[in-house]
């Protein structure tokens, strides 16, 4: 098990932060950055468990954590919900991203056809270097997204990379896709506004419990940084959609 301490970054730090948060330490964000709050909580945990309170998470600290259910906590824990809500319904989404005219494609799918120049004015190609080489992503790494949120999309993938979490992104499944919400004709999807993207759908399909921490395809460790950048995770919807990340506020 990797030894971590103040200044450490990456996926193992995220797991440790989930554990500390799960056993009741307040203010711990699973962002992959072992900062002062994580250090103080670690020192307190060590002190209460008869360990050398040095803030270094090594073999003895992990053993004490296992005895407190470390594996169970990191597997079952859901990321905390952010302090903002998702956008629901056509009017809330249009209020931020603009109205457009459309008609149903009537091809047996949820697709729509945008019939005005809204897309031309609002949908841009955003280069995400971290996605180069992924299926469904052009060789340039540019994906379509709403112009108002392009900066925070770039920042999100940069933050994931800095935290050592990009290995959690296994597949990309699209961003701007003009369509209705699956199974809800007449309700425009966030994808229709170019304000959402999907990753790892094989392991986080609509209506399924998203992959657990430690399982292949898990995206739970990505959620805290997504929230920081104004994105809401579909795993917090009443109808689970663990592959889905959508812009809920413009930063």
| Residue span of the structural domain in which 19 resides | 11-76
Instruction: Report yes or no on 27 lying in a domain.
Output: yes
Residues 160 and 129 reside in one and the same domain: yes
Q: Can you give the pLDDT at residue 70?
A: 72
Q: How many CB atoms within 10 Å of residue 230? A: 19
Instruction: Report yes or no on 193 lying in a domain.
Output: yes
Which DSSP state fits 84? Answer: S
Q: How many CB atoms within 10 Å of residue 224? A: 24
Residues 130 and 35 reside in one and the same domain: no
Residues 96 and 142 reside in one and the same domain: yes
Instruction: Report yes or no on 5 lying in a domain.
Output: no
Residues 154 and 203 reside in one and the same domain: yes
Q: Can you give the pLDDT at residue 69?
A: 67
Residues 216 and 128 reside in one and the same domain: yes
The kind and range of the H/E element at 186 are strand 184-188
Cα dihedral angle (94, 96, 98, 99), rounded to 10 degrees?
10
Instruction: Report yes or no on 243 lying in a domain.
Output: yes
Q: Can you give the pLDDT at residue 108?
A: 81
- What's 143's domain CATH number? 3.30.1380
pTM of the model: 0.73
Residues 135 and 220 reside in one and the same domain: yes
Residues 105 and 209 reside in one and the same domain: yes
User: For the chain, how many structural domains are there in total?
Assistant: 2
For 12: left if phi > 0, alpha if psi spans -120 to 50, otherwise beta; the answer is alpha
Residues 38 and 139 reside in one and the same domain: no
Q: Can you give the pLDDT at residue 201?
A: 93
Collapse the DSSP code of 246 into the 3-class scheme (helix H, G, I; strand E, B; otherwise coil) and give the result: strand
pLDDT tens digits for the chain (251 residues)?
789 999 999 888 888 887 887 787 877 877 889 999 999 999 999 999 999 999 999 989 998 988 876 765 444 567 888 999 999 889 999 999 999 999 999 888 889 999 999 999 999 999 999 999 999 999 999 999 999 999 999 999 999 999 999 999 999 999 999 999 877 778 899 999 999 999 999 999 877 878 888 789 999 999 999 999 999 999 998 778 999 999 999 99
Q: How many CB atoms within 10 Å of residue 190? A: 26
Residues 170 and 221 reside in one and the same domain: yes
Instruction: Report yes or no on 84 lying in a domain.
Output: no
Q: Can you give the pLDDT at residue 17?
A: 85
Instruction: Report yes or no on 26 lying in a domain.
Output: yes
Residues 24 and 115 reside in one and the same domain: no
- What's 71's domain CATH number? 1.10.101
Residues 72 and 93 reside in one and the same domain: no
Instruction: Report yes or no on 83 lying in a domain.
Output: no
Instruction: Report yes or no on 221 lying in a domain.
Output: yes
Residues 47 and 134 reside in one and the same domain: no
């Amino acid at each position: 098990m990797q030894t971590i301490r103040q200044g450490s970054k990456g996926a193992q730090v995220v797991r440790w932060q989930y554990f500390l948060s799960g056993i009741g330490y307040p203010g711990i964000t699973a962002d992959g950055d072992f900062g002062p709050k994580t250090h103080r909580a670690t020192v307190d945990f060590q002190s209460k468990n008869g360990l050398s309170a040095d803030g270094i998470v090594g073999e003895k600290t992990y053993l004490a954590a296992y005895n407190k259910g470390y594996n169970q906590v990191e597997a079952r824990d859901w990321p905390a919900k952010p302090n903002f809500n998702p956008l629901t319904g056509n009017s809330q989404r249009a209020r931020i991203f603009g109205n457009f005219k459309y008609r149903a494609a009537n091809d047996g799918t949820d697709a729509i056809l945008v019939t005005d120049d809204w897309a031309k004015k609002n949908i841009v190609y955003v280069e995400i270097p971290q996605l180069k080489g992924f299926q469904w992503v052009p060789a340039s790494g540019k994906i379509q997204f709403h112009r108002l949120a392009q900066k925070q999309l770039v920042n999100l993938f940069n933050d994931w990379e800095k935290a050592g979490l990009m290995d959690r992104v296994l597949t990309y499944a699209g961003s701007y896709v003009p369509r209705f919400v699956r199974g809800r004709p007449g309700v425009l999807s966030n994808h229709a506004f170019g304000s959402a993207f999907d990753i790892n759908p094989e392991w986080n399909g609509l209506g399924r419990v998203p992959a657990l921490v430690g399982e292949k395809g898990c995206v739970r460790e990505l959620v805290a940084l997504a929230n920081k950048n104004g994105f809401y995770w579909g795993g917090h919807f009443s109808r689970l959609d663990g592959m889905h990340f959508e812009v809920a506020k413009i930063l």
